[in-house]
């Protein structure tokens, strides 16, 4: 008796000052009544959306053959998913941790409609209510409403987060995607003493495709990601944000007069040849970087080959080299014994054209959405890239991956990143010593995450940690990290947690594997 009373007094002040979880969810007595939701809806000009079961036409009881066929055909389309209020890019996060949800079956190969799913169609891991914000005032109203009722609150922009941070079972979210205005401001200054610079002010919903197009219209190039539908001003920036020009632009805005590209594949006849090809690709990374080449390459054990997407920008037309020079630079890999290359080099005058004509058509094929995916990433440090013994282990890691787990090497970080002090921003200090980073993806069936998928992803992750170390790209990670605090932020974590406790003591802004989620939950 004494113990429990003492314990209560000891922990209560701490508990109250740092948490109000568990959050209030729909169907609980604490959840706002219809009339309160209606009042909120009126105050945001009818922009409160009750999430719909968008896959229900594929389920017994509400089956609609034609509609289900349409849904199965369109579910992997980036722009279609972008338009779903509560939907996400990857279906596993639309389900809860018991695979409850309403995923759409795959389209049968003969193009007929999938058979009706004999299961319950539920919201699963998706938000229950969404405020489709059109202004700062809408966001303020949504945040105040969530705080008043202690709701599980989420900010959703495009729903790309691989860790499902923009969703949550029973959550109430604000959707920023449609606040996608942009302004080109000449002579902008952050503070009165700063130097003037030209900047693009982008709304929180502007995506990569829109940013490149807007910059192109204004005769400049902006730093963004590889994938058109990723939000350029939301989670991308919060987690660091890397892209094709990351190694040279950092976050600056500049102009290119020509961009050389080389795209293509190299396929090998057997595993021995594939092993040699991977080894040559890894060895090429330093010489390519020294010559200003950027981009990505992927390796696939199923195809026994690699796919290359290489870019090199020039800030003056006079400096621009012959695009076939890129082919020459890749020669050691293109000439790997037992492998056949099929590559093509081009020169394109503007970055936006490069993106629309070359990069995006390829990228949408290699980074699928509308699927159930587990992903992991690791930074590739300068120490590693200069250490032959460790590089040998990297090569073995790539070749020994399960064949259906593709590997992606991203030369989207580098010299420009190092100009910033490691402690100047929240991102992991190891970024300031990163040469590149890599991802491995492991897909599961449309029905949801399986034990086999989780176990395989865990085994790959353990190997990756042994070979590359513990530091990951926060934005390209799943949920299996042993210590997400160390992996995502390293020594910055304690400082970030201190700030979080000060500015959000009730844990209103919460998400999976985020700062403070070990205290407030998510």
Ligand X SMILES: Cc1cc2nc3c(=O)[nH]c(=O)nc-3n(C[C@H](O)[C@H](O)[C@H](O)COP(=O)(O)OP(=O)(O)OC[C@H]3O[C@@H](n4cnc5c(N)ncnc54)[C@H](O)[C@@H]3O)c2cc1C
85 binds ligand X (CB under 6 A): no
> Which residues make beta-bridge pairs with 71?
none
Report, in Å, the least distance between residue 143 CB and ligand X. 11
515 binds ligand X (CB under 6 A): no
Contact predicate 86/127, CB 8 Å: yes
Report, in Å, the least distance between residue 75 CB and ligand X. 14
Report, in Å, the least distance between residue 312 CB and ligand X. 18
CA distance 255 to 350: 9
Nearer to ligand X, 241 or 341 (CB): 241
CA distance 145 to 138: 11
CA distance 417 to 420: 6
Nearer to ligand X, 273 or 371 (CB): 371
Report, in Å, the least distance between residue 522 CB and ligand X. 10
225 binds ligand X (CB under 6 A): yes
370 binds ligand X (CB under 6 A): no
H or E stretch covering 394 = helix 388-399
326 binds ligand X (CB under 6 A): no
Report, in Å, the least distance between residue 393 CB and ligand X. 26
Please identify, among the stretches 148-156, 214-222, 345-353, 500-508, the one whose residues bind ligand X according to the rule CB under 6 A.
Answer: 148-156
Number of H helices, E strands in the chain: 20, 13
Mask for 450-479, x = binds ligand X (CB under 6 A) = -------------------------xx---
User: How many other CB atoms are found less than 10 A from the CB of residue 259?
Assistant: 24
511 binds ligand X (CB under 6 A): yes
CA distance 225 to 239: 12
182 binds ligand X (CB under 6 A): no
CA distance 365 to 179: 28
Please identify, among the stretches 1-9, 20-28, 153-161, 477-485, the one whose residues bind ligand X according to the rule CB under 6 A.
Answer: 153-161
411 binds ligand X (CB under 6 A): no
367 binds ligand X (CB under 6 A): yes
Please identify, among the stretches 60-68, 150-158, 251-259, 463-471, the one whose residues bind ligand X according to the rule CB under 6 A.
Answer: 150-158
Please identify, among the stretches 37-45, 111-119, 155-163, 422-430, the one whose residues bind ligand X according to the rule CB under 6 A.
Answer: 155-163
CA distance 30 to 36: 12
432 binds ligand X (CB under 6 A): no
Query: Computed from CA positions of residues 20, 24, 25, 28, in that sequence, does the dihedral angle turn out positive or negative?
Result: positive
Q: How far is CA 492 from CA 314, 422, 497, in A?
A: 36, 10, 9
Report, in Å, the least distance between residue 362 CB and ligand X. 12
Nearer to ligand X, 114 or 159 (CB): 159
236 binds ligand X (CB under 6 A): yes
Report, in Å, the least distance between residue 381 CB and ligand X. 18
47 binds ligand X (CB under 6 A): no
- 314 closest CA partner among 288, 296, 294: 294
H or E stretch covering 7 = helix 2-18
Tokens of 173: 């979210």
Report, in Å, the least distance between residue 300 CB and ligand X. 17
Please identify, among the stretches 12-20, 224-232, 266-274, 479-487, the one whose residues bind ligand X according to the rule CB under 6 A.
Answer: 224-232
Report, in Å, the least distance between residue 511 CB and ligand X. 5
- 369 closest CA partner among 70, 160, 514: 160
242 binds ligand X (CB under 6 A): yes
- Strands 294-300 and 407-411 come out as antiparallel
List the one residue from 231, 313, 414, 516 that touches ligand X (CB under 6 A). Answer: 231
507 binds ligand X (CB under 6 A): no
CA distance 482 to 439: 17
Contact predicate 284/330, CB 8 Å: yes
Nearer to ligand X, 274 or 431 (CB): 431
> Which residues make beta-bridge pairs with 299?
306, 407
List the one residue from 101, 204, 264, 507 that touches ligand X (CB under 6 A). Answer: 204
| Residue whose pair of structure tokens reads 């890999």 in the numeric block | 333
- 202 closest CA partner among 267, 140, 255, 251: 251
At residue 41's C-alpha, the angle toward residues 38 and 45, to 5°, is 140
Mask for 156-175, x = binds ligand X (CB under 6 A) = xxxxxxx--xx---------
Q: Is 20 exposed, middle or buried (0-12, 13-18, 19+ CB in 10 A)?
A: middle
- 509 closest CA partner among 171, 190, 196: 171
379 binds ligand X (CB under 6 A): no
428 binds ligand X (CB under 6 A): no
Report, in Å, the least distance between residue 4 CB and ligand X. 38
Interface residues with ligand X (CB under 6 A) are 89, 154-162, 165-166, 176, 204, 225-227, 230-231, 234-236, 238-239, 241-243, 367, 369, 475-476, 511
């Amino acid at each position: 008796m004494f113990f429990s009373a003492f314990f209560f007094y000891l922990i209560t002040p701490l508990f109250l000052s740092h948490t109000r979880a568990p959050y209030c969810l729909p169907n609980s007595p604490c959840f706002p009544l219809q009339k309160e939701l209606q009042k909120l809806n009126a105050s945001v000009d009818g922009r409160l959306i009750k999430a719909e079961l968008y896959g229900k036409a594929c389920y017994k009881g509400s089956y609609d053959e034609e509609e289900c066929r349409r849904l199965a055909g369109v579910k992997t389309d980036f722009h279609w998913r972008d338009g779903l209020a509560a939907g996400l890019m990857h279906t596993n996060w639309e389900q809860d941790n018991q695979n409850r949800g309403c995923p759409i079956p795959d389209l049968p190969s003969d193009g007929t409609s999938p058979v009706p799913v004999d299961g319950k169609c539920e919201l699963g891991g998706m938000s229950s209510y969404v405020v489709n914000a059109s202004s700062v005032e809408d966001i303020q109203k949504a945040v105040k409403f969530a705080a008043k009722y202690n709701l599980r609150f989420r900010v959703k922009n495009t729903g790309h987060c691989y860790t499902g941070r923009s969703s949550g079972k029973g959550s109430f979210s604000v959707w920023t995607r449609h606040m996608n205005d942009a302004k080109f401001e000449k002579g902008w200054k952050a503070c009165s003493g700063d130097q003037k610079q030209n900047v693009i002010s982008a709304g929180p919903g502007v995506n990569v495709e829109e940013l490149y197009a807007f910059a192109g219209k204004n005769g400049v190039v902006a730093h963004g990601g590889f994938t058109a539908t990723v939000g350029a001003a939301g989670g991308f920036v919060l987690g660091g944000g890397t892209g094709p020009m990351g190694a040279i632009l950092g976050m600056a805005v500049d102009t290119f007069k020509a961009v050389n590209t080389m795209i293509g594949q190299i396929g090998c006849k057997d595993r021995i040849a594939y092993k040699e090809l991977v080894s040559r690709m890894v060895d090429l990374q330093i010489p390519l970087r020294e010559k200003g080449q950027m981009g990505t390459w992927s390796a696939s054990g199923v195809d026994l080959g690699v796919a290359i997407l290489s870019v090199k920008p020039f800030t003056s037309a006079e400096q621009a080299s012959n695009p076939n020079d890129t082919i020459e630079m890749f020669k050691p890999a293109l000439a790997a014994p037992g492998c056949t290359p099929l590559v093509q080099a081009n020169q394109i005058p503007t970055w936006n054209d490069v993106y629309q004509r070359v990069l995006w058509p390829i990228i949408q094929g290699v980074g699928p959405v509308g699927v159930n995916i587990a992903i992991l990433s690791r930074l590739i440090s300068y120490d590693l890239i200069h250490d032959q013994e460790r590089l040998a282990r990297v090569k073995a890691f790539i070749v020994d991956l399960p064949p259906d787990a593709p590997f992606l090497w991203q030369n989207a970080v580098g010299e420009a990143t190092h100009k910033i002090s490691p402690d100047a921003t929240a991102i992991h200090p190891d970024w300031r010593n990163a040469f590149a980073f890599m991802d491995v993806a492991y897909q599961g069936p449309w029905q949801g995450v399986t034990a086999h998928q989780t176990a395989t992803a865990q085994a790959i992750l353990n190997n990756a940690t042994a070979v590359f170390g513990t530091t990951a790209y926060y934005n390209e990670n799943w949920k299996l990290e042993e210590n997400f605090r160390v992996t995502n932020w390293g020594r910055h974590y304690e400082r970030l947690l201190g700030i979080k406790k000060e500015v959000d003591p009730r844990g209103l802004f919460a998400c999976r594997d985020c700062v403070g989620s070990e205290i407030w939950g998510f």
